[in-house]
Amino acid sequence: MSREILKYPNPQLSKRSQEITAITPEIAALAKDMAEAMYANRGVGLAAPQVGEPLRLIVVDISGPDERNDLKILINPVIVHREGAVEEEEGCLSVAAFRAKVKRAQKVVVKAQDLDGNAVEIPGEDFMAVCLQHEIDHLDGILFIDHISRLKRALYDSRIKKKLKAGKAKD
């Protein structure tokens, strides 16, 4: 079952997620649902808080959006190494119709667990590194728009407030 993706400014998106202490059938089902939601929305990554679950779980597959063959499910991911710098344009399934350049590490190494509870180490470079950092930020309640200038953020927030106000006027 694909899940609905929460949209900014939903307050759940700004909360820190909890560690997963046991990999249960419910966690496996959540990971499957998240992958379906990510694919259905033509995304390359999704974090559990984006579907309303405050848990440290991300799914990533940068092989798409047309061909999907490299799904990574990471439980309790932690960046253990960062190197270099890159500035890439980012978007987010939870941040409607907005893209902006964000500075991130060019290379990262992430340690996590897979669905079988095995320790995994995922090296990421360039786009994969950006994607991993973006999704792990979600687990700490950080959106990519938290990394942009105050002016750009204020303009985006103003646009969202107008949109929300217009939507309420229709009700």
> In residues, how long is the chain?
171
27-31, 95-99, 107-111: lowest mean pLDDT where?
95-99
Q: Residue 72: name the closest of 44, 53, 48, 97 by CA.
A: 44
Cβ–Cβ < 8 Å for 103, 130: no
Helix, strand, coil distribution of the chain in percent, nearest 5: 35, 30, 35
119: number of CA atoms within 13 Å, CB side? Answer: 2
Radius of gyration, alpha carbons of the chain: 16
Catalytic residue positions, numbered = 135
Whether the pLDDT of residue 102 is over 50: the answer is: yes
Cβ–Cβ < 8 Å for 121, 110: yes
Whether the pLDDT of residue 16 is over 50: the answer is: yes
**pTM score, whole prediction:** 0.94
Q: Following CA atoms 35, 1, 55, 103 in sequence, which dihedral angle do they give, to the nearest 10 degrees?
A: 30
pLDDT score, position 70: 94
Cβ–Cβ < 8 Å for 59, 46: yes
Would you identify the CATH topology of the domain 11-170? Peptide Deformylase (3.90.45)
